Chain A
Amino acid sequence: MTDAAAAVARRWRHLDKSVFVWLLLIALLLLLVINPLARLLWASFQHPETGAFTLENYAAAYGRWRHIEALINSLVIGLAVAGLCTVFGVPMAWAVSRTDMPGKGLVWAAVLGTFIMPNYLGAVAWILMAGPNAGWLNRAYTALTGAAAGPFNVYSMTGLVLVIACYSFPYMFVFTRSALDLISSEMEDAASTLGAGALRTTLRVTLPLALPAMMGAFIVEFLEAIALFGAPALIALPARFQVMTTMLWQMFEFPPRVQVAAAYSMPLLLITVFLFWIQYRLIARKGYVALTGKGGERRLVRLGPWRWALLGYCLFVTSLSFFVPMLVVLQAAFARAWGRGFSLDNLTLRNLRFVLIDQPATRAATLNTFVYAAAASLIAVGLALAIAYIVARRLVPLGRVLTYIAMAPFVIPGIVLAIGFYAAYTAKPLVLYGTAWILILAFATRFLPIAYTNADAALRSINPELEDAARILGGGRLLALRRVVGPLLRRGLAGAFILVFIPATRELSSAIFLYTTGTQVLSVLLFDKSDEGNFEVLSSMGLILVVVTVALVLVGFRVVGRDFLLRRTAS
């Protein structure tokens, strides 16, 4: 053998063969995140028939007033929602974090309950509550005042803003609360000793210190609102106005105009990326030292009689978002006809039976929902762990880039991601459209950042020497992962699994573009059936999702700890 050949043979013998596994997983990551985005961008410049480069799609997307109007509606709704969320969430966060308000446990549970309710189920509940004429609130109003008609109409811009705000204010609550939790009482004491009263201290010191977190939450709320599909589709379409997401959906009605939709979705993508960057800068800003460390001892502000007023406000907000809607949904799910109200002879299990057993379509959808969510969670957590591992152990050069790629779906609206998946995987070489895989992979991609944050944190928590010890004793990387790292990460990964599973069971905005007959999930079916007006069945389907979610959350409490869902990273 020549020297050169010997050197090559040695290099091969010295090569850690697990590198091929890592390369394969990196390829999968690129396939899931980069390819759909690249194809989306490419499609937006592609002529629908000839495939040549063109700007026509942008002209078609923005050449009509209807389309521009939907864009404006989205922005208006986003701002209004973010404003309303601030009004809802900030006082509650302050009350729970800094005051002696009673009933904090109840308020916390109600916020968690709100978080667990899918926004489209909330929309259904609000239709039952504030539908013109038949809605509970209107009926109560006419019964009390004797007026001919009630004043409430959920089918309006105001109604939509209220519904979206009800189901996204938990972000504001969580962000503000974690910021307030880190401000030590010493900061407030410093102001008090200079003669500032409690109110002045709160307004001049406490809240300003939490301001970056609140501004960050404001941006998140805005972005949530403009990217949302479920609630707008249930409320805006009957109210005869459009937002960006419903407009995108209509572009997909037969025949789908993918290229125009791709062009139309670009501003949504750019706004999101830009605002998340701003949000990141806000949170990362250094001047606010109070937010960097664990605060010192904290004392609660004594409110006196005002604490009851504050509790009243918290219960009012959570009644709008959780207590009343949940009651209404439960009533409808178990009612022969929801309009006949609360009475024993109106009670039935027929709706649940219909959904779970009798109706093949809903039965299949229920099964699909959980199977897809489980598969997506497994893929997301497995891939996230592998990528986090590759980055942490510097197995490839430029590992940090992989972190950015894995986190990228965080700033891609679900609906945009879905259009990207459609553009990438309906045509050769890789046709996934029409199979369950396109839904599973889209869900896995969409929630990959949640899995990544958790897998990365879990991985950092174990000493690399534990793995080194396994390797020096003769176990390769893969064996060390299987025998040592994996078992040690079990709890962290179980938490990550649940955190991905929950949103995956309820995901609508990407599913609505990617399902076909046979691959429907509950969220899609619920939306599909909404125009039939069968609210008893809709509520039953929603209830199934809620019950399963609650069960999982309880498991999560046991496995990971009480705060795992309402953490900042979970958003």
Chain B
Amino acid sequence: MSRLVLTGVSRRFDAVTAVDGFSLTLAPGEFVSLLGPSGCGKTTTLRMIAGFLAPSEGTIEMDGRLISSPASTLPPEKRGMSMIFQSYAIWPNMTVEENVAFGLEVRRLPKSEIAVKVQRILDVVQMRHLGRRYPQELSGGQQQRVALARAIVVQPAVLLLDEPLSNLDANLREEMRYEIRRLHDEFQITTVYVTHDQAEAMVTSDRIAVMNQGRVEQVDEPRALYARPRTRFVAGFIGRTNLLDGLVRGAEVTFDHFAIPRSRFAEPTSLDGQVSFSLRPQSILLHRQPPPVSDRAAVIPGQIVQRAYLGEHWDYTVRPAGGPLALRVTARPHEVFEVDEKVWLELDPRQMARLQPE
């Protein structure tokens, strides 16, 4: 049975629709991220799952039981979930141990069992030696670990995380991404993770739901999301990309001043009329001489317009001959081209992801 099922969930605040027809199903033990820019409704969705907000429309079910509907919502304290907040929300009036023990005390576990569980989880997050400290005496990263321990120790049915890393500095943030994934692999807790940082979502998640303006744009595994974005928004939000608009004419798809045979695309028969594609900058190769003709690739003459050396790679802007279109191309550090130099662009149409019409 699915752990969590959201069906057509919407939430309005007065005239503003924050979440619009959100549907998602989570299998037990699955880690799903809600990814999107600020204001896209991801936190609102999370707070509806937690029970802090009631949906204006739609339902939420957990293990087959209805827990949220416009008519009634089960209060958060009865959902058996736990949550990690942007501010960590570690209680400053309690020590680390008292913070972690709280959820177990509420569940009326015997004192001895609580003590054992608290120590064990503090070991897992490497905080055992700081158990008697008060939160004010801890660094941001340590507070984050306390928040994780406090949320995991109760073995929640669902773990919710609301931008938990946004208050940490860059290095720590990277470390904690892996920590969160490690804890998930260890405890297999069904998790919903809200973030605006694609790298965070890619590292931690089994699946990512990309949200924009209250709607889900695409739900997929991280690799599929990158390789096969289905909308312009997803293509642009996950990594950098080139958006190409073309028109299907007989055996060819014509773009701005160049054309590619239709048969070379991944699903040639479905192409019709106006079509749009996303093409990643690293899927384009640059050549000084025309590459040998193949029946897979498309080769287009062009000219370097702009370049930037970023250490790990070159960032070129290339204009296909005769047109105003500018393509971004990523090349390895030893592939050096001068501005204004004539080049040949080689691209594989099967790597061009077809986007849904707007």
Contacts and interface: CB of A to CB of B under 8 A. Distances in A.
A472 B72 contact: no
B353 to A, nearest CB: 38
A460 interface: no
A448 B81 CA distance: 38
Contacts of A471: 52, 75-77
Contacts of A488: 91-93
B278 interface: no
Given A10-B66, A16-B75, A474 B86 contact: no
Interface string A460-473: 00010110111111
A487 interface: yes
A16 B75 CA distance: 6
A469 B72 CA distance: 21
Given A465-B86, A468-B52, A474 B154 contact: yes
**Residues of B contacting A: mostly:** loop
A496 to B, nearest CB: 18
A70 to B, nearest CB: 51
Contacts of B83: 468-469, 472
Interface string B141-168: 0000000001100100000100000000
For chain B, give the interface size range: 20 to 34
B71 A473 contact: no
B50 interface: yes
B102 interface: yes
Report which residue of A13, A463, A472 has the largest number of chain B beta carbons within 10 angstroms of its beta carbon: A472
Given A7-B71, A13-B74, A474 B106 contact: yes
Contacts of B90: 469
A475 B91 CA distance: 14
Interface string A4-26: 00010011011110000000000
Contacts of A14: 67, 72-75
A479 interface: yes
Contact of A472 (B66, B71, B82): B82
A473 B150 contact: yes
A450 B247 CA distance: 72
Contact of B71 (A11, A16, A465, A479): A11
B1 to A, nearest CB: 19
A14 B80 CA distance: 14
B81 A472 contact: yes
A562 interface: no
Contact of B77 (A7, A10, A475, A487): A475
B357 to A, nearest CB: 41
A472 B86 contact: no
A476 interface: yes
Contact of B72 (A11, A463, A474): A11
Nearest to A473: B103
B103 A468 contact: no
A501 to B, nearest CB: 24
A469 B91 contact: yes
A15 B72 contact: yes
A484 interface: yes
A488 B80 CA distance: 25
Nearest to B74: A14
Contacts of B66: 10
B255 interface: no
Interface string B107-142: 100000000000000000000000000000000000
Interface in B75-106: 75-83, 85-87, 89-93, 102-103, 106
A140 to B, nearest CB: 59
Contacts of B91: 466, 469-470, 483-484, 488
A488 B107 CA distance: 23
B140 to A, nearest CB: 15
A465 B72 contact: no
B143 to A, nearest CB: 12
Contacts of B106: 473-475, 479
Contacts of A466: 89, 91
Given A472-B76, A474-B103, A465 B82 contact: no
A169 to B, nearest CB: 41
A16 B91 CA distance: 23
Contacts of A11: 71-72
A248 B103 CA distance: 58
Contacts of A470: 91, 102
Report which residue of B72, B81, B86 has the largest number of chain A beta carbons within 10 angstroms of its beta carbon: B72
Contacts of B67: 14
A399 to B, nearest CB: 15
Nearest to A13: B74
Report which residue of B50, B79, B83, B150 has the largest number of chain A beta carbons within 10 angstroms of its beta carbon: B83
Given A7-B71, A488-B93, A474 B85 contact: no
A94 to B, nearest CB: 41
B87 A476 contact: no
A10 B89 contact: no
A476 B102 contact: no
Closest 10 CB pairs of A and B: A473-B103, A469-B89, A14-B72, A465-B89, A474-B106, A465-B85, A487-B93, A11-B72, A472-B83, A16-B75
25 contacts: A10-B66, A10-B72, A14-B67, A14-B73, A16-B75, A463-B87, A465-B85, A468-B50, A469-B89, A469-B150, A471-B52, A471-B75, A471-B76, A472-B50, A472-B82, A473-B106, A473-B151, A474-B77, A474-B78, A474-B80, A475-B106, A479-B106, A488-B91, A488-B92, A488-B93
